[in-house]
């Protein structure tokens, strides 16, 4: 991974500086799709921006943040090709890359600390997708997309 899209709402913005710093320390180029202050905004806007950047290939992967990570991940997962995973600890972050090849992780600003977010981002970024038996399952997810998405 090299070019990473980040996006958040007001509930997730508390994590964004730490996440950007962690990504840059890993050597990633970060593209920040907002939001940029603590004014109340609607998380689907930012979930969509980051998901479209990843699905189009403009960015290699993404990190989303809202209060829980849930609403913004649900939004991103409505974009074909996106596998956005809420991760609340390092184990989930590593496993969702190794098994699900998550191209977006979603974090909760009201759930984890900025320091925990940095550890999670590092674990996800550094882990490698294992392929093999897991690819069959990702293909099955793609089949569901093809059945129900335009």
Q: Which residues are catalytic?
A: 66, 99
Of 99, 122, 116, the residue nearest 23 (C-alpha): 122
| Contact flag: residue 43 with ligand RB5 (CB under 6 A) | yes
| Contact flag: residue 70 with ligand RB5 (CB under 6 A) | yes
String of contacts with ligand RB5 for each residue 48-67, x by CB under 6 A: ------------------xx
Distance CA(70)–CA(118), nearest Å, equals: 18
| CB closer to ligand RB5 out of 15 and 66 | 66
Residues written for the chain: 150
Which of 16, 22, 68, 85 is close enough to bind ligand RB5 by CB under 6 A? Answer: 68
Distance CA(150)–CA(134), nearest Å, equals: 25
Distance CA(59)–CA(67), nearest Å, equals: 24
Positions touching ligand RB5 (CB under 6 A) are 9, 11, 43, 66-68, 70-71
């Amino acid at each position: 991974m090299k070019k990473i899209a980040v996006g958040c709402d007001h509930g997730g913005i508390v994590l964004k500086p730490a996440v950007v710093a962690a990504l840059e320390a890993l050597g990633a180029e970060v593209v920040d799709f907002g939001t940029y202050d603590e004014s109340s905004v609607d998380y689907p806007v930012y979930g969509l921006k980051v998901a479209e950047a990843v699905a189009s290939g403009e960015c290699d992967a993404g990190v989303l943040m809202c209060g829980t990570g849930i609403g913004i991940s649900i939004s991103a997962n409505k974009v074909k090709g996106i596998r956005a995973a809420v991760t609340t600890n390092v184990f989930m972050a590593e496993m969702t890359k190794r098994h699900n090849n998550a191209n977006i992780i979603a974090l909760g600003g009201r759930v984890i600390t900025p320091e925990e977010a940095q550890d999670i981002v590092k674990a996800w970024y550094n882990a490698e997708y294992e392929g093999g038996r897991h690819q069959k399952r990702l293909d099955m997810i793609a089949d569901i997309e093809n059945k129900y998405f335009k």
